Structure formats: structure tokens, C-alpha cells
């Protein structure tokens, strides 16, 4: 049996997500570590007002991802691969043994602040369904030639994409696509234009910070969502963590790679649920589970 732990990105967050963590000695230790590093109680990170800031969302997703993954491992559910979408790469790196939990929190705090300060308002991301990549890229090229800040950010499946940029530009993209087909759209709960060139200066700053952090060779296979390939070295993952905020997400290609490797079980860490349907589409042979939909006992049986 071959298992993947999958860590969701920004947009999957839920108010109160850190108040329903498992109850164990290890969890209490992780919570104490996080509160000491961040200088605040976790309940100040996951309320509605706190989630208006990118830093708090990303910290909450990192903390939740690490704690839930470690809980599954304690229950005997051991991953063979880890993959994370955007900020999900950080808990993935912790579980792979590449990055210390406390270092991850410091880096994620910086990452979130850099992104928020660069784009405090007027920008974000929009999911698109029932369109074609070639059509979408043609529309985006036309818009950028006209001066619009809008980019293809995520390639989640053969008909599901995410664009990033200014709100007004994304609205024009949706309008143009709907003129030529049955495209549907949904504005994501993300306040910055991730996974495009607009965040290149911030990625460069984060790379400088990562250059001073000790990292290890992965003990669990680490799959990069930006490159859709396994990264075997600490330096390769260091670069991936720095630049994934400004790099396209090739999630469909990642899932295709896992399908080719015969993965049999995918566990999406809480508070996810967004990645599981994408895994099911690409890995018909695998059991794809959102952890928050099942009890730990049931997950043990399914695994």
C-alpha cells in the first residue's frame, strides 16, 4: 500500500479550525511550541477578523497540517509521499523531516506578512470551472497586453483552473470566458495574487530568509506542486518553499504522477476537502479521503 499526505492551501481555512485539534500529549506540545514562537494564543489566529490577514491564515493551515499529520502517523498511518498546495508545502516539509516545526512557523509568519504588505487590498484569486486551458491563456494574454494584472495561477485539472490578479481584471476574464462558453467562477477566500509574477520580489526576500535556515534531506518523498516532480535534496526543497508563492501550481500533473506510481490512498489534512475531489479525478484506483470527514478509528480501518 502506498499513501500520500496532502496539505491544502489558502482558501481551505475555517473559523475555529485550531479549536478542534486532536487531544494528545504531542498535540499539547506542538501548541505550546507554536504559542511560544508566535507570542500569542492560537485562538487569536483562527477567528473571522484574524483571517482577514494572510499571515494568520497561513499559520493556522501550517499548524493544523502538522498536528493532524503527526496524529495520523501516531495511529500507524505512515505516508510514503507528501504534497502541499502553496502554503501546504510548509507542513509537508515538516512531516518529510526537511524543516523543523518552529522554523516553519517563523518562515510562514514572514511569508504571510510579505504577501499581505505587497497587496493589502484589491487583489485575489478566482477559481474557474468548465473552460479550456488554451482558451483561458489566450484571454489572459489579450488582457495583459491591454495592461490588466491577471495570470493563470493553478492548473488543478483539465477543466478547473485558478487565476490571480486585480479584482477588476479577474472580473473581465470571467466575463470574456462566459461570452464564449459555459464557464463558471468562484472568488476564493484569498486576499493576495498568489502563484504568479506579481509576487516575485516577495519570493526573493523569502529566499534570503530560507538561506539561513538549517534543512535536512527528506525522509519521506516530497512532491513539489510547482514543478510536479519529486525533490530529493534539501536545497531543492529550500528553493521550492521560497518560490512557490510566485510559481504556477501544477496540481493535476502532481496527481497524475502519483497515479502513475500506483498510489493507493490519499489523505487530505484538515481543514481540507478541496483537494480530495481533484485526487479522485486523477487517481481512480486510489482511495482519496478528507481526514476531517472521518474518525481516526475509521481512517485506520480504511488505510
pLDDT digits (tens, 9 = 90+) for 213-252: 999 999 999 999 999 999 999 999 999 999 999 999 999 9
Residues 135 and 111 occupy one common structural domain: no
The CATH number given to whatever domain includes residue 204 is 3.40.366.10
- Please list the ranges in the chain whose pLDDT falls under 50: none
pLDDT at 296: 87
| Distance in angstroms (rounded) separating the CA atoms of residues 283 and 81 | 15
Shared-domain flag, residues 171 and 59: no
**Same domain for 243 and 219?**
yes
Please tell me the predicted confidence (pLDDT) of residue 20. 93
Q: Which three cell numbers stand for residue 189?
A: 477566500
From 162, 187, 212, the end of a domain falls on 187
- The catalytic position among 64, 185, 195, 252 is 195
Q: Has residue 255 been placed in a domain? A: yes
The burial of 155, by beta-carbon neighbours within 10 Å (0-12 exposed, 13-18 middle, 19 or more buried), is given as buried
How far is the C-alpha of 118 from the C-alpha of 234, rounded, in Å? Answer: 28
Catalytic residue among 6, 64, 86, 185: 86
Q: Are residues 165 and 216 in the same domain?
A: no
Pair (22, 156) in one structural domain: no
User: Do 241 and 141 share a structural domain?
Assistant: no
User: What is the domain extent for residue 166?
Assistant: 123-187
Residue 220 lies in a domain: yes
Residue 29 belongs to some domain of the structure: yes
Residue 291, in any domain of the structure: yes
CATH number, domain of 180, equals 3.30.70.250
* Residues 147 and 181 grouped into a single domain: yes
In a domain, 65, yes or no: yes
Statement to judge: residues 96 and 234 lie in one domain: yes
For residues 113 and 31, state if they share a domain. Answer: yes
pLDDT score, position 181: 77
Domain co-membership, 236 together with 163: no
Instruction: Using the 3D structure, point to which of 187, 213, 236 is the last residue of a domain.
Output: 187
The per-residue pLDDT for 303 is 75
List the beta bridge partners of residue 81.
4, 221
Does a structural domain hold residue 253? yes
| Domain tally, the chain | 2
pLDDT of residue 202: 97
* Residue 271 resides in a domain: yes
End-of-domain residue from the set 156, 187, 218: 187
**Catalytic residue check, 195:** yes
In terms of domains, do 101 and 226 share one?
A: yes
Is residue 167 part of the annotated active site? The answer reads no
Residues 161 and 216 in one domain: no
C-alpha R_g of the chain = 18
- Whether 192 is in a domain gets the answer no
- Phi and psi angles of residue 126, each rounded to the nearest 5 degrees, phi first: -135, 130
Amino acid at each position: 500500500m502506498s499513501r500520500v499526505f496532502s496539505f491544502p492551501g489558502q482558501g481551505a481555512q475555517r473559523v475555529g479550525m485550531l479549536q478542534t485539534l486532536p487531544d494528545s500529549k504531542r498535540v499539547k506540545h506542538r501548541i505550546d511550541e507554536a504559542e511560544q514562537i508566535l507570542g500569542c494564543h492560537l485562538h487569536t489566529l483562527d477567528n473571522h477578523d484574524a483571517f482577514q490577514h494572510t499571515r494568520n491564515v497561513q499559520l493556522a493551515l501550517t499548524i493544523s497540517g502538522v498536528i493532524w499529520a503527526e496524529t495520523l502517523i501516531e495511529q500507524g498511518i505512515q505516508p510514503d509521499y507528501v504534497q502541499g498546495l502553496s502554503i501546504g508545502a510548509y507542513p509537508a516539509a515538516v512531516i518529510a523531516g526537511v524543516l523543523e516545526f518552529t522554523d516553519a512557523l517563523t518562515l510562514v509568519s514572514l511569508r504571510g506578512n510579505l504577501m499581505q504588505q505587497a497587496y493589502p487590498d484589491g487583489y485575489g484569486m478566482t477559481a474557474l470551472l468548465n473552460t479550456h486551458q488554451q482558451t483561458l491563456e489566450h484571454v489572459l494574454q489579450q488582457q495583459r497586453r491591454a495592461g490588466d494584472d491577471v495570470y493563470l495561477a493553478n492548473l488543478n485539472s483539465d477543466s478547473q483552473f485558478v487565476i490571480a490578479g486585480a479584482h477588476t481584471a479577474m472580473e473581465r476574464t470571467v466575463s470574456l470566458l462566459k461570452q464564449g462558453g459555459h464557464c463558471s467562477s468562484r472568488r476564493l477566500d484569498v486576499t493576495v495574487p498568489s502563484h504568479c509574477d506579481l509576487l516575485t520580489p516577495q519570493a526573493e526576500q523569502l529566499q534570503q530568509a530560507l538561506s539561513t535556515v538549517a534543512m535536512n534531506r527528506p525522509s519521506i518523498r516530497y512532491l513539489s506542486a510547482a514543478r510536479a516532480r519529486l525533490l530529493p535534496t534539501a536545497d531543492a526543497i529550500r528553493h521550492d518553499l521560497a518560490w512557490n508563492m510566485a510559481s504556477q501550481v501544477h496540481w493535476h500533473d502532481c496527481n497524475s504522477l502519483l497515479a502513475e506510481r500506483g498510489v493507493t490512498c490519499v489523505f487530505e489534512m484538515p481543514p481540507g476537502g478541496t483537494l480530495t475531489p481533484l485526487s479522485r479525478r486523477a487517481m481512480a484506483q486510489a482511495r482519496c479521503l478528507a481526514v476531517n470527514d472521518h474518525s481516526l478509528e475509521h481512517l485506520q480501518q480504511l488505510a
